[in-house]
Amino acid sequence: MPEAILGISAFYHDSAAALLVDGEIVAAAQEERFTRRKHDPAFPTNAARFVLGEAGVAFGDLKAVAFYDKPYIKFERLLETYNGFAPKGLASFLASMPVWIKEKLFMRHMLKEEFGKLGPGSPKLLFPEHHLSHAASAFFPSPYEEAAILTVDGVGEWATTTIGKGSGNAVAILRELHFPHSLGLLYSAFTAFCGFKVNSGEYKLMGLAPYGNPDSDRVAHWKERIHAELIDLRDDGSLLLNMDYFAYATGLTMFYSGKWESLFGIPARQPEENIGQEHMDLALAIQQVTEDVVFRLAETARELTGCRKLVMAGGVALNCVANGKLIRRGTFDDVWVQPAAGDAGGALGAALAAWHIGQDRERRPATPDAMQGCYLGPEFGPVSIARTARRHAAPFTRFDDFDGLCAAVSDLLAKGNCVGWFQGRMEYGPRALGNRSILGDPRHPDMQRKLNLKIKYREGFRPFAPSVLAEEAANYFELDRPSPYMLVVAPVAGQRLNPLPDGYNDMPMYERLYVQRSDIPAVTHVDSSARIQTVSADTNPRYWRLVNTLLDRHGCGLVVNTSFNVRGEPIVCTPEDAYRCFMRTEMDCLVMGDFLFLKQDQPTWSEKENWRDTFELD
C-alpha cells in the first residue's frame, strides 16, 4: 500500500497543506485560495481536503501528519523574551498569553480536533522545527545531490537564519542566528516604516527600491545610519540588532516611531499616503543592506560546506533582486530557490523532512526539480467551466483545437487587450506562473499603467514580470540559466534598451515610470531590470504554445504575466473566482480551458455590495 504523509502549516500566516505519496509531491495548496481570505492563518481544512482527495487517500490511511514547527519551543521563546525585556511588553504579554495558554500551548490537542474534520483515524503526529522545514523544502525538491542550504526569514521558534548542508536524504544545520536578531524582521520594520503591511508588503518595498537614486548622498548617509545605529553586521553575515529601536520583541508594532523618525529625519509614512523620494531612497538603502547580508551569508555557507550549489528558502529568499545579484556574483555554480519559500512552503518541507529524515527514505534528485513547475493545486475541466458560464448566462466561444485558440488569443494580445488566462492546476506559492495569470503584450507603452490602475487596482509604481520562452530568454535579458519560478531579477538586454533622458534619476516617480526604457516597456522596471519567468514546453506546454504563437504571428516571444486577482484578493482558484474577477475589472478577455469569453459580449455585471470592501488592502 502506498505511504502518504500530510504536511501542514497553520496559525501564523499563509496556512497550507501538502501531500507526499511514496515521497513524491502529489498536491499542495494554500488555504487562502479556498477561503478567499488573503494570507489566511486558519487551519487549512479546505487545502487538506483537496490534497487528500487529489491523491485518493483517506485521512486514516496516512502514515503521518507533519506540522511545520515546534509550538512548545516557540512558547518558550515568547516567555523568555518577555522576561528578558520586562517590564516592557506588558500589553503584548496580556494580549498573547491567553491565546497561547488556551489554544497554542495545547497544539497537539487542537490539531487532533481539526483532524476530526478530515475523517476518522489518528496518524502519527510529527513536529519538525520551523527552519528544518524550510531547509527540507529547499533541498529535497532541488536537483542537487549535495548543496549548501540557506534559510532566512522573520523567526521560527528561536532561529531566524540557518546555514546547513544537504546530502542524500540528510540535512545538517551548521549555524543558527537567533531571535530577536533577524534580517527578515529588519526588512519588515522598514516595510512598516514606509507604510506597507508587514508579512504582505515586503515585495512592494523591494519594487520601490529601484526608484531610489543610487547616486544620492541621502542613500549613502542612510546606509551609514543603519550600520551605525540599527545593526552590527559581521563578516560572516551574522548580525545583532539594536533593540532600543525595535518594538516587535514585546510590543504590538515593529519599531519605536520617535527613534526612527529622529534617526532618518522623516516621519513614518502612513498607509495609502503619497510616496516621496525619501521613501524610495530609504527602500533602496535597506535593499542594499539586505543584499550585503545575503552575500555574506552565502560566502559563509560556501566556506562551511564546501558545496558548489546553494538552495534557499524562508521569506527573504523571495527577494528576487538579491537572488539575481547573488547568482551573478558567482559564489556558487548554481542556486535553486524553493518557489513557495515562505510559510506556505513549510507544509511541504515538514512532509519532506518526515519522509526523508524521519522515515530515513532514499532521495532521488529530479530534473529540472521535483516541484512539477509548482502546478500542484486544483484543476477544473470543461464541465465546471460550462457550469459557471450557464450560471451567469455568459456567452463564449469554445475552440476545438488549441492552436486555433492560441492564434485568437495572440491576436487579441497584440492589439493591446488584457487577457485572463486560466488553465490546468493552480500554482502553489505566491507566484502566478501561467495557469492563473493575467496577460498582456509587453510592447504596448500603456500596458503597465492599464494593468495596475484599471485591472489590479493597485499602486501605479509596481512592476510587472515577463514570461519568456526559455529558448528566447537570452534575446531579451542578461540571463544565462532557466528561471521557471519568477524568483530572479536580471537586466534587460542592452540591445533592447533606449537611451535615458538627462536627469533621469532626479525625475519624479511617475515621470520616470512612464519613460520608454526599452522595446518591452511594460516589463522593464525603472532600473532597466525584470523579474523573469522562463517558460518551458516540458513543464507547461499550453502556456508555452500560447507565447510561441505570439512569437510566430507577431514577433514577440514573451508576455506580461501578473497574478489573476485584484489588490487584496488571493489568486483565483475556481472558474467562478475567475469569471467574477474578470467582470469586476476592465479585463478585456477571459480564457478558461478552451473557452474564450469577450468582455464586450458579456451581460451587465452587478453586485449588491461594493466588492472592493470585501478585500482588505494589502
Distance, CA of 286 to CA of 209 (rounded, Å): 8
Contact, 201 vs 618, CB < 8 A? yes
Contact, 324 vs 489, CB < 8 A? yes
Angstrom CA distances, 336 to 20, 333, 357, 572, stand at 21, 10, 21, 27
- What does residue 181 show for φ and ψ, rounded to 5 degrees? -90, 105
Distance, CA of 4 to CA of 359 (rounded, Å): 12
Q: With H, G, I as helix, E, B as strand and everything else as coil, classify residue 214.
A: coil
Distance, CA of 304 to CA of 331 (rounded, Å): 13
Three-state SS annotation for 420-439: EEECCCCECCCCCCCCEEEE
Distance, CA of 265 to CA of 453 (rounded, Å): 32
Distance, CA of 185 to CA of 204 (rounded, Å): 15
Contact, 151 vs 314, CB < 8 A? yes
Determine the Cα angle at 327 with ends 325 and 332, to 5°: 135
Pairing mode, if any, of strands 64-67 and 124-126?
parallel
- What does residue 597 show for φ and ψ, rounded to 5 degrees? -110, 125
Here the cell at position 458 is 493597485
Burial of 32 from C-beta contacts in 10 A (0-12 / 13-18 / 19+): buried
Length, in residues, of the chain = 618
**Which residue blocks in 229-342 are alpha helix, DSSP H?**
257-264, 277-305, 320-329
Pairing mode, if any, of strands 334-337 and 309-313?
parallel
Residue type, 64: A
Place of cell 494593468: 451
Closest CA to 332 of 351, 347, 350, 311: 311
Distance, CA of 152 to CA of 342 (rounded, Å): 10
Here the cell at position 114 is 481539526
Here the cell at position 563 is 497574478
**Based on C-alpha coordinates, what's the Rg of the chain?**
24
Residues annotated as catalytic are: 13
- Greatest alpha-carbon span in the chain: 70
- What does residue 158 show for φ and ψ, rounded to 5 degrees? -110, -35
